[in-house]
Structure formats: C-alpha cells, structure tokens
Amino acid sequence: MAVGTGLWILNETSQKVSVQISNNSEGSASTFTVQTSQLLAPTFGANFWNRTGPETITATVPLVSGETAQVVLAGVAARSQVTFYTDCVVAIEPTTGVRIQTYV
C-alpha cells in the first residue's frame, strides 16, 4: 500500500456520524463512528481509512431538526477527504475535484 493512500472522513456536525465504507480495494466494511470535531480533534487513527481504489460511503448524519439523513456517495476515490456538515457533505477528490451533496 502506498503511504497516505486512503480516505479522510471528517465530521463537522454537532453529533457523531455513523459511516460505512465499502471494501472493494481493501479494509473492513464495518460501520464506524466518526466523532464530531467539536469534541475530538481529527487524527490519523480516528479519521483515516486505508483504501486504494474507489469506494462507496454510506452515512447516517444527524440534522439540526433532530432527525437523521442517510447519505450515499458512490465512487469516492482513494486520497479523498469527505467532510460531513449538518446540511451537506463535501468530498474533495484528487482527480475529479469537489462534489457537494445536500441532504436538507
């Protein structure tokens, strides 16, 4: 595996986000909890998942209303940063640039 090949998942909501990352290229397809950066600063150990190819990210995101949104991002490239906010998710990908998906 190349150094730094993987996905950074960040959480800028006020609550934890439940994330599942497919394992088409490598890694575990388990569901992971990503803590809010308001309580825990992002770290390599808590926010980085090894992947070498495109993956699908499925997340349950808390909304300001108290409800949750189910978000699916398909084909997220390795070396991407995905950040969840209370009204959208932003994926910064090395080859395709930025994509934003709103969910409210």
> pLDDT per residue over 5-38, tens digit each?
899 999 999 999 999 999 999 888 889 999 999 9
Query: Has residue 1 got a pLDDT over 50?
Result: no
Give the Cα separation of 17 and 25 in Å (integer). 23
**Cα–Cα–Cα angle for 81, 82, 87, nearest 5°?**
145
Spatial separation of the C-alpha atoms in residues 94 and 104, rounded to whole Å: 27
Q: Distance between CA atoms of 10 and 12, rounded to whole angstroms? A: 7
pLDDT at 41: 93
CA distance 73 to 45: 22
